[in-house]
């Protein structure tokens, strides 16, 4: 790979990471406004019915993907946890709920806003609904 090509790829990846961080700032702000508490970078928790509902964001190094994951921990136990859905399956044409979420972005401001809205739609449609009846995904089928 030539130095010019490599520097262009590095600049593109940097731009995508910056755009990703803008998307996540919008999402994180709305999660906090809806009652979640930021526990650490990319980890949010809300309390309900004797358990803690967790939403986590896993950034990929290229800046092009972010996985959203959920789990609940049962209060008063030694860390009993139930794993929930991950966003990966919901970005495919055969999404588990029949809705394909478009969790990709570019560096354009309107695309960043659209993607943040799409992440929030996924969180509301899938994760918040799952928190109401938190069974492991394979047991819900």
Examine residue 11 and state whether it is found in any structural domain, yes or no: yes
Note the pTM of the prediction, 2 decimals. Answer: 0.88
Examine residue 110 and state whether it is found in any structural domain, yes or no: yes
- For residue 97, what are the contacts with CB-CB under 8 A and spacing of at least 6? 90, 125, 126
Average pLDDT value for residue range 52-72 = 89
Angle between helices 3-33 and 109-122 (to 10 degrees): 50
Q: Is the pLDDT of residue 140 over 50?
A: no
- For residue 138, what are the contacts with CB-CB under 8 A and spacing of at least 6? none
Q: What is the pLDDT of residues 86-118, one digit of tens each?
A: 999 999 999 999 999 999 999 999 999 999 999
State the residue range of the domain holding 108: 3-133
* 31: nearest Cα among 84, 73, 68: 68
Share of the chain above pLDDT 70, in %: 95
Examine residue 103 and state whether it is found in any structural domain, yes or no: yes
Examine residue 98 and state whether it is found in any structural domain, yes or no: yes
Q: Is the pLDDT of residue 141 over 50?
A: no
Distance CA 73, CA 120 (A): 22
Higher-confidence residue of 11 and 71: namely 71
Domain count, the chain: 1
Examine residue 29 and state whether it is found in any structural domain, yes or no: yes
Q: What is the pLDDT of residues 71-84, one digit of tens each?
A: 999 888 887 899 99
Q: Bridge partners of 52?
A: 47, 73
Examine residue 12 and state whether it is found in any structural domain, yes or no: yes
């Amino acid at each position: 790979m030539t130095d010019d090509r490599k520097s262009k790829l590095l600049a593109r990846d940097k731009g995508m990471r910056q755009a990703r961080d803008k998307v996540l700032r919008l999402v994180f702000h709305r999660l906090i406004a809806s009652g979640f508490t930021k526990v650490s970078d990319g980890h949010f928790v809300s309390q309900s019915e004797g358990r803690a509902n967790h939403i986590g964001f896993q950034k990929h190094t290229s800046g092009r993907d972010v996985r959203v994951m959920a789990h609940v921990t049962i209060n008063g136990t030694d860390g009993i946890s139930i794993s929930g859905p991950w966003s990966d399956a919901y970005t495919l044409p055969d999404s588990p709920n029949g809705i394909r979420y478009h969790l990709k972005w570019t560096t354009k401001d309107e695309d960043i806003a659209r993607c943040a809205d799409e992440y929030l739609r996924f969180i509301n449609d899938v994760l918040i609904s799952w928190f109401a009846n938190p069974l492991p995904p394979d047991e819900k089928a």
